[in-house]
Amino acid sequence: NDTGTQNRWLWAMGFFFLQALSDSANDAIRTIDKLTTLHNKSLSLFDDLSKRQKTNVLKVFNYIESNPIIDIQKTAVSLEMSYNTASKIVSLLVEKGILQQTDKSGKARIFSYSEYLDILRKDTWSILEAQSRSLPEGWWLCSSSEEKPAIVLVSFLSCLLSLLSHL
C-alpha cells in the first residue's frame, strides 16, 4: 500500500541522514585527534630554538595551521614581518620536515604543510567509504522499481552533504 511505501521511504531518508550525521561527527573527532597529535609533534621540533627564534617560528607555524599552502611574500605581509625573516623561518620549517616546497608560481615558491593536508584529504574521503559500508541489510525497501532510484538519490545526496561539510 502507498502509506507503507511512504513510511519505508521516510525511514530510509531518516536513516541515511542520521548515519551521515554520525559518520561526520566521528570523522571530525578522528580528524581533530590526528591534527592535535601532528600539532604537538611539530611543536616538539622547536624545543632546540632560542626564545627569540621560537617566538617568530611559532607565529609562522600558527599561520600555516590555518593556511597550509603559503608563499613567503604573502606570509611575511600577513604576519607583518620582513621577507628575510619569513624566508629564514620557512627554510627552518623545511629543514624540520614540516613544510615542503610544492610548486613555483613565477618568482614565488609555494610551500605546503603536506602532512596536515594529507590528514584533511584522507579523512574527507573516509566519509564516502563509511557511507557505502553503512547500508543496512535489505535497504531496498521500496515495492516498485520506479521508487528505487529515489532511495539511491537520497543515499548519494547524504554522502555528498557529508563530503561538502568537510571542505
Per-residue pLDDT tens over the stretch 41-77: 999 999 999 998 999 999 999 999 999 999 999 999 9
pLDDT of residue 47: 94
At position 75, the amino acid (one-letter code) is T
Inter-CA distances, 93 with 12, 61, 83, 97, Å = 49, 8, 15, 6
C-alpha 50/C-alpha 25 separation (Å) is 40
Q: In this structure, are strands 100-105 and 108-112 parallel, antiparallel, or unpaired?
A: antiparallel
Find out whether 110 and 102 touch, Cβ atoms under 8 Å. yes
Q: b or e along 15-31 (b: 16 or more beta carbons within 10 Å of the residue's beta carbon)?
A: bbeebbeebbeebeeeb
The total number of residues written for the chain in this structure? 167
C-alpha 116/C-alpha 99 separation (Å) is 10
Q: Whole-prediction pTM value?
A: 0.64
Residue with C-alpha cell 521516510?
10
Cite the DSSP H helix spans in the chain: 2-44, 51-66, 72-78, 83-95, 114-133, 148-164
Task: Give pLDDT tens digits for 79-137.
Answer: 999 999 999 999 999 999 999 998 887 788 999 999 999 888 875 555 545 544 554 44
Residue 69 β-bridge partners: 112
Of residues 138, 140, 137, the one with CA closest to residue 151: 140
